[in-house]
Amino acid sequence: DTEVTQTPKHLVMGMTNKKSLKCEQHMGHRAMYWYKQKAKKPPELMFVYSYEKLSINESVPSRFSPECPNSSLLNLHLHALQPEDSALYLCASSQLWSGTDTQYFGPGTRLTVL
Amino acid sequence: QKEVEQNSGPLSVPEGAIASLNCTYSDRGSQSFFWYRQYSGKSPELIMFIYSNGDKEDGRFTAQLNKASQYVSLLIRDSQPSDSATYLCAVAGGTSYGKLTFGQGTILTVHP
């Protein structure tokens, strides 16, 4: 089973709202990722967690705040977003953060910022 | 030069034909190579991964890797309309440790 789940599927928020995206995997993977994908572009890496510790932050604005409460869960807290942050947000996981492990993607959250 | 380049699309093939998708990469230290399929509005779905030079077959899909030429390809035999999607080549290892480097994607359309 290579399932990564994400909630919600769709999210509409105003620029003053605070919301969170959730990601869960039960494959025993120890690396989890957040990506942002704009239309007709490949996914862009935002954050990497390895063994629940933040390992990579790709210079993401502080209005995006990741959190990894345990090895199965990954959250992305959103605050004071801009309309240009509207995108598909993808969570992925891999067995380890070895640099070459296969990443499996969740279904994504379609975020619209008004 | 882009780190991962895919053949520019869109690519259109008739049903039943072989679709050939190509990808070149610039980092010689790259170690793992992936093909993801992405339907419009959906998330990327892993189709194949390959680590060693040569061919790897899985059903109608064959991935080919040539590290000397820094080239990886995906062949889809007996193409079906349901194969119509964007195909993303991704490369891992090398100088971009811990990151997948994606190509821009190739849009494939299989027409009946």
At A3, give phi and psi (nearest 5°): -100, 130
Over residues B7-27, the mean pLDDT reads 94
Contact B100 A88 (CB under 8 A): no
User: Which residue matches tokens 């992405």?
Assistant: B38
**Which of A102, A104, A63, A10 has its CA nearest to residue B45?**
A104
Assess whether pLDDT exceeds 70 at residue A1. Answer: no
pLDDT digits (tens, 9 = 90+) for B59-104: 999 999 999 999 999 999 999 999 999 999 999 988 777 789 999 9
pLDDT digits (tens, 9 = 90+) for A23-35: 999 999 999 999 9
Q: What's the half-sphere exposure (Cβ side, CA atoms, 13 Å) at A88?
A: 19
Within 8 A of B49 by CB-CB distance, chain A residues are 102
Report angle CA B32, A61, A45 to the nearest 5 degrees.
10
Determine the pLDDT at residue B37. 98
User: Which residue matches tokens 């793992």?
Assistant: B32
pLDDT digits (tens, 9 = 90+) for B53-63: 999 999 999 99
- H/E run at residue B92: strand B85-93
Contact A45 B45 (CB under 8 A): no
DSSP-based three-state secondary structure for A33: strand
